[in-house]
Structure 1
Amino acid sequence: MKKVAVIVAGGAGTRMGSATPKQFLLLHDKPVLWHTLTAFLNAFDDMEVVLVLPPAHFPVGEEIINNIYATLPATEGRITITAGGDTRYHSVQNGLALVTEASVVFVHDGVRCMVSAALIQRCYQQALEKGSAIPVVTATDSIRLLDQAPVQGQMGASAVADRAKVCIVQTPQTFVSSILLPAFTQPFSDAFTDEATVVEAAGHAVHLVEGEYANIKITRPVDLLIAEKLLPA
């Protein structure tokens, strides 16, 4: 089945403390986003990519794409840029508008540049079999649940949770298009924290798949340092 990766890269880099959006920070002399895009292009020879960016970032996005095509000529023509929206939901919705054939669709964070070909391929196979594949890893730290959200940084009462029953959700969240596209015709809700919640709200069960601890999201400076050590140069 056709394969389409919708890569959402609209971050501003606030928590990174950098004027440069985190998806454009350099990792082994190439932008974080370069590594993310090439991971998907290399996972399958027929993978197509829809890159979702704020319009102001189109020029740097095009520069990265042209560099990929120059480095990996066989990938030329497989990436399309489209504009993001006000929220992640609307950005993904814009990307999905370019999916016009029956497909397996991967929705991925642009700053998860450590994603492996094995994980992408595992998600694809399970989505074919079950309709969805949400990569998760089990929690390794002790977990406590707050009775309510913190107020001005003050923590209230809490209770310990069984970490064996807690999963940390990653991307690429992967679905067959016949499930994902109709789900994204729903009106936006603040409860839509990721694609799995959108699909569940449309009445579909979602199916988990084993993720990878190395599949980190580059959010803070320490994440970039970890990625520098783990990602082959």
Structure 2
Amino acid sequence: MSTSKGPTLPRFAILVAGGSGTRMGADRPKQFMELLGEPVLLHTLRRFTESVLQVQQCVVVLPANQFTTWHQLCAQHGISIPHTVVAGGVTRWASVRNGLKFLSEPTEGIVAVHDGVRPLASTTIIENTYAAAAEHGAAIAAVAPKDSVRGLSKEGSYAMDRSRLRLVQTPQCFELNLLRRAYELPELPTFTDDASVVEDLHTIHLVAGDYSNIKITTPEDLVLAEALMRARQTAD
């Protein structure tokens, strides 16, 4: 990864953290659960504020009723990382749109949208996705499926060619005004991520992701994330 010249376009990040913790069976939202003694969301925030990435502004999108908890956690853990907290919406689409609205001043740049509970995205993946979006307009991290995949039909199921399939991750990076135009369109049920919002306007470029870039959704994910993070610390 080369960053010697730095990014040619300003970089921004929107971290979406709207989970309730229901599937975790926890007493708190999953973004606030502890991962090696610190909130998951703090680990994610650190990934995007590493100086080598040169992200100018980081927006954290949370449900309004979680603001107080996040501010308390920031004070408890001495978090001084510059970021802005914005209220989310009813859906992920609405939450991203609210975060995007906050970035009303920049006239150009590349914006990354990332899951707040995906704390293991490496600097390399983030840098590569920003750089690819600067070149292609829209780029997302993705990995090939490891398992065989089957589709469903009325008759049962059928084999699918997994070499033609990819599992989508975040970050997903876009030219700022392209993402703005996409989010001016009405929300559709088919919008499952930002790439699905943008793809009618622009081709989506794929960047090699990482199997360790997991999204923490279940208790097993948290155990795996801790093991992966400890392994990274040992390697460093």
- TM-score w.r.t. the length of structure 1 is 0.90
Structure 2 residue runs of 5 or longer lacking an equivalent are 1-8
Deviation at 1:179, TM superposition (A): 0.8
2 CA distance for matches of 1:228 and 1:58?
Answer: 25
Rounded Cα–Cα distance in structure 1 between residues aligned with 2:183 and 2:112: 14
Where do 5+ consecutive residues of structure 1 fail to align? 149-155
1:118 has 2:124 as partner:
yes
* Aligned CA-pair RMSD: 1.6
% identity of equivalent residues: 43
| SS of equivalent to 1:172 | strand
- Work out the CA distance in 2 between the residues paired with 1:40 and 1:63: 21
The corresponding residue for 2:5 is: none
**Offset of residue 45 of structure 1:** 3.9
SS of alignment partner, residue 140 of structure 1: coil
C-alpha deviation, 1:228, in angstroms: 0.7
2:43 counterpart SS class: helix
Which residue pairs with 2:98 in the alignment?
94
Worse-matched range after superposition: 80-89 or 15-24: 15-24
Residue 221 (structure 2) aligns with:
223
How do 1:30-49 residues align onto structure 2 when only pairs under 5 Å count? 30-42=38-50, 43-49=52-58
Which residue does the alignment assign to 1:153? none
What residue in structure 2 maps to residue 167 of structure 1? Answer: 166
- Change in CA separation of 1:65 and 1:96 when aligned onto 2, cut-off 3 Å: farther
Instruction: Name the amino acid aligned to 1:61.
Output: W
Counterpart residue type for residue 48 of structure 2: F
When residues 126 and 16 of structure 1 are mapped into structure 2, their CA distance, relative to the original with a 3 A threshold, is same
Contact 1:65 1:79 in 2 (8 A): no
Listed as ranges, the matches of 1:54-73 within 5 Å are 54-66=63-75, 70=78
In structure 1, what residue type is equivalent to 2:53?
F
Shift in Å at residue 65 of structure 1?
4.0
Give the 5 Å matches for 1:198-209: 198-201=197-200, 203-209=201-207
Match of 1:151 in 2: none
**Count of paired positions:** 220
Deviations 1:161-216 (A, max 9, x none): 11111100000110010211111000111111110111013x21111111111000
Q: Secondary structure at the match of 2:150?
A: strand
Instruction: Measure the CA separation in 1 of the matches of 2:99 and 2:32.
Output: 20
What is the Cα deviation at residue 137 of structure 1? 0.1
Indicate conservation of the 8 Å contact 1:136/1:168, yes or no. Answer: yes
Provide the rounded CA distance (Å) in 2 between the counterparts of 1:117 and 1:48. Answer: 17
Q: 53, 56, 62: which is aligned to 1:53?
A: 62
Check the 8 A contact 1:40/1:47 in 2, yes or no.
no
Matched, 1:213 2:207: no
